[in-house]
Amino acid sequence: MKNESTKRIKDSQVEMTEIVLPQDTNSLGTIFGGRVMQWMDIGAAICGFRHCRTAVVTASVDRLTFLVPLKIGHIVSVRASVNYTAKTSMEIGVRVDSEEPLTGKKQHCSSAYFTFVAVNEAGKPIVVPSVVPVTAEEKRRFEAAKKRRQERLTMREHETRQSRK
């Protein structure tokens, strides 16, 4: 099972635009964190579909942060981009920005790292095409994602050892 194909990062990038509706908000007119997460997951999944052209499933989410609250009526931009690819998984970075509709003022609202796994019809992991980072920004993200992946693996191994004791 060798993966010979490579794809460009920009070919799978996603840009979603949404508007915060009353149904997305709590009684104070502020959006639920869970609603933002749902948009981020869909954006990341579309990015994964485009990169792999197979089914993909969310395996984990890390360092999801909410910086400023999205309010009712705000225009929401969700952007997703493949940061790194391992054998059967990939890290997809997602960033959410808000745009105040009457002033056009933009703010960075939320970011997260999603790990998706490519699966076949039986739900078993399959090889993902690898990415070759081209721009300086892409290279920086690739290295940072590689490091995060290493940390996750170390942490998991550590936790497994702990639970064996």
Question: Which residues in this chain contact a copy of itself in the complex, by CB under 8 A?
Answer: 14-19, 21-23, 25-30, 32-35, 37-43, 45-46, 49-50, 53-55, 57-66, 69, 72-73, 75, 99, 101-104, 112, 123
Structure tokens at 159: 């936790």
The residue among 5 and 38 lying less far from a copy of itself, judged by its C-beta, is: 38
Yes or no: say if 72 and 29 are a contact pair by the CB < 8 Å rule: yes
Strands 106-119 and 130-131: unpaired
The residue among 66 and 146 lying less far from a copy of itself, judged by its C-beta, is: 66
CB of 86 to a copy of itself, least distance (A): 16
Q: Which region, left, alpha or beta, applies to residue 53 given φ > 0 means left and ψ of -120 to 50 means alpha?
A: left
CB of 1 to a copy of itself, least distance (A): 19
CB of 163 to a copy of itself, least distance (A): 11
CB of 47 to a copy of itself, least distance (A): 10
The residue among 87 and 119 lying less far from a copy of itself, judged by its C-beta, is: 119
CB of 64 to a copy of itself, least distance (A): 4
Q: From the CB of residue 96, how many other CB atoms can be counted at a distance below 10 Å?
A: 25
DSSP letter for each residue of 98-145: EE-TTT--EEEEEEEEEEEEEE-TTS-B-PPPEE---SHHHHHHHHHH
The residue among 19 and 132 lying less far from a copy of itself, judged by its C-beta, is: 19
The residue among 12 and 85 lying less far from a copy of itself, judged by its C-beta, is: 12
Q: Which residues contact 81 (CB under 8 A, 6 or more apart)?
A: 9, 12, 13, 14, 47, 92, 93, 141
Structure tokens at 25: 């908000």
